């Protein structure tokens, strides 16, 4: 499996691009929580998802265990999805709001 590069590096790059291309960095206009450690947050959400998958795997034929594990998998997958949606939203904001060199046709 490929390693994910540091998301904190990405956050720093977004800040630098905002300062250079948008005219300043205003975390209020962006979706990422620029005050948190993104690598730790991603690892936390992934760890919670992994534990839920392990619970589903070890639950055997117990319907209650399976249902609970499935609800937790859904919850943690949504958390990860929201986490990455914030990154996508900020990338789009930077593209749309920045002053960029025209891309030739």
**Stretch 84-102: mean pLDDT, rounded?**
94
What pLDDT, in 10s, does the model give residues 57-77?
Answer: 998 888 999 999 999 999 999
pLDDT for 25 equals 87
Question: What pTM does this model have?
Answer: 0.86
What pLDDT, in 10s, does the model give residues 12-34?
Answer: 999 999 999 998 888 888 999 98
**DSSP strand E in the chain: where?**
none
pLDDT for 99 equals 92
The separation between CA 89 and the C-alpha centre of its own chain, rounded to angstroms, equals 10
Checking if the pLDDT of 1 tops 70, the result is: no
Q: What are the C-alpha distances in Å from 80 to residues 27, 31, 83, 88?
A: 20, 14, 5, 12
The pLDDT confidence band at residue 2, using thresholds 50, 70 and 90, is: low
């Amino acid at each position: 499996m490929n390693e994910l590069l540091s998301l904190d590096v990405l956050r720093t790059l977004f800040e630098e691009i905002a300062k250079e291309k948008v005219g300043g960095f205003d975390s209020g206009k962006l979706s990422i929580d620029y005050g948190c450690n993104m690598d730790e947050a991603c690892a936390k959400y992934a760890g919670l998802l992994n534990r839920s998958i392990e619970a589903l795997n070890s639950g055997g034929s117990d319907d209650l265990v399976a249902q609970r594990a499935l609800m937790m998998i859904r919850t943690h997958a949504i958390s990860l999805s929201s986490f990455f949606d914030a990154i996508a939203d900020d990338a789009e904001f930077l593209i749309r709001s920045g002053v960029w060199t025209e891309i030739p046709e």
